[in-house]
């Protein structure tokens, strides 16, 4: 019933958007914009207070009354559909994903096409063209993307184990195998018991979700979800490199170098084997490095510095670095035509967003208020100690206000000062490693394009291959079974998806 209601809501939005087309193209001068309405998700138990310090500072910096309709993050997509189907539509909306509903509404004219409008605003002209392209819908920009670090892939390992066994940090996928084998077979914890394994992987089977499987497949050269072969885009799982990578992973599973419960292991417990001395490595985002360091620090504040080591992406069998990035954004801020009726009004809203994307507001949304919850030390934001009630309230509120941050022209806020010199060194190394790997990033070339067939049945199509991949790695089917599943993807609608994606790709070259 809920799905039916949301489908009907989408239909209403489409009809509304089409009915507004005629009145949305005028260029009459707009009255001064004194207030701006925004809908955004909140992440804490309660939304920020409308008279809180951050809200007041935001209105001071923008010179506008900012009316924010906060909605719970857990039900935000439902709230988005309901809002768009109603009559009280905000001028700016945080859109969390390029969902089928958003795509349909955008293509029907419900949101302003900003493709040719952003470059005249200095803070909205992006310095990340690849990310802006990824966030587009078939090459058209319907929102200001919310930038997130595009390169975050890292291999974390027990540094104390590596040192005990006299090993070097891995640089290649072959090194990864050798370290995993040593961590499994050479008693790295010195307890005389065969009770360790090399790599811990949690239950994470979905395709194209930056899982350890996706990462290793890209290291082997399979591409990032899609890849170009012989002048056409093909899914990564239809490449020889995909099969080579999965053979490599299966070899480690068969040799018990990966936790035996990888298909069912609870992702919320991913840190535990590493911390408890069972699993020696994790392939995940680099922010987990600092989380692991902190776990050891809490356990022994005087002896935590030699427990966690890390590197970035690994060189593949072809001798090349195919670094695995994310799409580089987490949703965007879109402008509905139902509430912003003319080009002149649109200009006023974009001027407001240009101010929002400047340094002063970026600092407010991401760091807070200087001398209330943070101070600037060595170019970094250090938490005010002791924390005051006012400072605590600001620090809590910015977790939600950060959802309004775009940073399309680069981060202008202060990086957080780490608690100790060692932790600062780890953070700085993370930053440097990711920046270097970004030079070798292999993006998904199909990210901007939306196949109608994939919108309709993409989830069920992908499950065919995702389920087969896990079954193959677990030994429940052989390689031919995996290949058969890939063929089934094609015949179940995948061939049509490839046809549509390639047409869009060619049309936008």
Look at residue 85 and tell me whether its pLDDT is greater than 60.
yes
List strand residue ranges (DSSP E) for 89-190, in order. Answer: 92-95, 144-147, 153-158
Look at residue 22 and tell me whether its pLDDT is greater than 80.
no
CATH code at 153-324+442-507: 3.40.190.10
From CA 199, how far away is CA 183, in angstroms rounded? 9
**Paired tokens of 174:** 């072959």
Look at residue 199 and tell me whether its pLDDT is greater than 50.
yes
The ranges of the chain annotated as CATH 3.40.190.10 are 2-149+328-417, 153-324+442-507
From CA 387, how far away is CA 395, in angstroms rounded? 10
Strand partners, 285: 153
Residue pLDDT, tens place only, 364-418: 999 999 999 999 999 999 999 999 999 999 999 999 999 999 999 999 999 999 9
Please, is 149 exposed, middle or buried when counting C-beta atoms within 10 Å of its C-beta (0-12, 13-18, 19+)?
A: middle
Residue with tokens 């990864």: 176
Q: pLDDT value at position 29?
A: 57
Residue pLDDT, tens place only, 244-301: 999 999 999 999 999 999 999 999 999 999 999 999 999 999 999 999 999 999 999 9
pTM: 0.91
Domain 2-149+328-417 has CATH 3.40.50.2000: no
Is the separation of the CB atoms in 118 and 112 below 8 Å?
no
Look at residue 203 and tell me whether its pLDDT is greater than 90.
yes
List strand residue ranges (DSSP E) for 193-345, in order. Answer: 197-199, 226-229, 232-235, 279-285, 308-311, 329-334
195: three-class secondary structure by DSSP = coil
């Amino acid at each position: 019933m809920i799905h039916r209601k949301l489908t009907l809501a989408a239909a209403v939005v489409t009809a509304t958007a089409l009915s507004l087309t005629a009145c949305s193209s005028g260029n009459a001068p707009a009255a001064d914009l004194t207030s701006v309405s925004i809908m955004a998700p909140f992440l804490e138990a309660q939304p920020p207070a409308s008279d809180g310090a951050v809200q007041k500072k935001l209105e001071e910096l923008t010179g506008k009354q900012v009316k924010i309709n906060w909605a719970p993050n857990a039900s935000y997509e439902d709230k988005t559909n309901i809002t768009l189907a109603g009559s009280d539509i905000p001028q700016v909306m945080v859109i969390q994903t390029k969902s089928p509903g958003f795509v349909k509404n955008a293509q029907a004219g419900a949101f302003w096409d900003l493709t040719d409008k952003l470059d005249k605003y200095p803070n909205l002209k992006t310095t990340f063209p690849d990310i802006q392209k990824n966030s587009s819908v078939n090459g058209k920009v319907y929102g200001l993307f919310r930038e997130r670090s595009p390169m975050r892939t890292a291999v974390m390992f027990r540094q104390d184990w590596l040192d005990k066994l006299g090993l070097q940090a891995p640089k290649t996928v072959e090194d990864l195998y050798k370290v995993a084998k040593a961590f499994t077979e050479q008693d790295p914890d010195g307890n005389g018991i065969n009770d360790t394994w090399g790599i811990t992987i949690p239950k994470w089977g979905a395709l194209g979700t930056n899982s350890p499987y996706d990462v290793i497949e890209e290291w082997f050269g399979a591409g990032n979800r899609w890849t170009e072969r012989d002048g056409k885009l093909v899914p990564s799982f239809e490449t020889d490199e995909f099969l080579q990578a999965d053979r490599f992973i299966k070899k480690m599973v068969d040799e018990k170098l990966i936790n035996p419960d990888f298909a069912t292991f609870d992702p919320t417990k991913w840190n535990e084997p590493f911390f408890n001395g069972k699993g020696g490595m994790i392939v995940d985002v680099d922010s987990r490095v600092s989380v692991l360091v902190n776990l050891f620090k809490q356990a022994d504040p005087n002896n935590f510095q030699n427990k966690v080591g890390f590197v970035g992406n690994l060189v593949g069998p072809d001798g090349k670095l195919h670094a695995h990035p994310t799409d580089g954004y987490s949703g965007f801020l879109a402008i509905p035509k139902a509430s912003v009726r003319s080009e002149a009004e649109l200009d006023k809203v974009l001027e407001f967003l240009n101010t929002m994307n400047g340094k002063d507001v970026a600092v407010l949304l991401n760091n807070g208020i200087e001398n209330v919850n943070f101070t600037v030390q060595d170019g970094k934001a250090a938490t005010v100690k002791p924390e005051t009630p006012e400072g605590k309230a600001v620090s809590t509120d910015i977790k939600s206000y950060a959802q309004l941050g775009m940073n399309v022209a680069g981060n202008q806020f202060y990086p957080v000062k780490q608690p100790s010199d060692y932790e600062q060194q780890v953070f700085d190394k993370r930053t440097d490693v990711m920046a270097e790997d970004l030079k070798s990033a292999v993006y998904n070339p199909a990210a901007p394009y939306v196949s109608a067939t994939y919108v309709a049945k993409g989830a069920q199509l992908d499950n065919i291959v995702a389920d087969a991949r896990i079954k193959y790695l677990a030994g429940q089917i052989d390689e031919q079974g995996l290949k058969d599943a890939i063929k089934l993807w094609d015949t179940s609608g995948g061939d049509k998806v490839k046809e549509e994606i390639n047409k869009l790709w060619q049309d936008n070259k």
